[in-house]
Amino acid sequence: MTGNLSQSVILKMFLETVSQNFQHLPQTEGDPSKDVNQALNVLGDSLNQQGPLKNLSRSKKKLSQKPWITTGLYKSIKNENKMYRTLVRTRFSNTRAHNHYKKYRNKLNHIMEMSKRNCYQSQLSSNSHHPRKTRKLINYLIKCKEKGLTSPDELINSANRQPTNFPTHLMIILYLLAVSWQLL
């Protein structure tokens, strides 16, 4: 389906497809589980006819794992890569273009760090009342290899071992979490 179709039009098209597929459904006698399986197969086939699932490319899968990268940032990254490729082709001979690229790259990196920080801060604040989700997010941020950290000291020490990947504002949050764990 292409274009902007309203939800009611899409629903009507889906229901027409389902009704056509149900008309061709053979009747079975006695075994209701076969009837249910056939009905589910018809619904699945109708869904695939109206809106088949699309396989994501490797880069799109990787991008979906980074929720802080918006479409605008993605376009900016592509633009930065294009600028870099042109600089490589000219062997960095154009100093004005090289300076422009460096400024663009630095601003983009700053914006990406801010976006990443805001994303994780919002996730931590939204999951503040769910200790399991908070711990899972912290373990992801620390990228610890073990199953989980058991004490607050291990949490802080693990974060200190990876200072380049771990922003300082998250260290403060981890410290506050460690203090709250000790109070419990």
What pLDDT, in 10s, does the model give residues 109-153?
999 999 988 888 888 888 878 888 887 887 777 664 444 555 666
- Kindly report, residue by residue over 33-89, the tens digit of the pLDDT: 777 788 778 777 877 777 777 788 888 888 888 888 999 999 999 999 999 999 999
Question: pTM surpassing 0.85?
Answer: no
CA 118 vs. chain centroid, Å, equals: 15
DSSP label of 145? S
CA distance 33 to 39: 10
For residue 174, count other CB atoms closer than 10 A to its CB.
21
DSSP letter for each residue of 55-113: PPPHHHHHHHT-TT--HHHHHHHHHHHHHHHHHHHTTT--HHHHHHHHHHHHHHHHHHH
Between residues 1 and 156, the one the model is more confident about:
156
Domain ranges of the chain: 7-50, 58-126, 130-184
Q: How far apart are alpha carbons 129 and 35 in whole angstroms?
A: 45
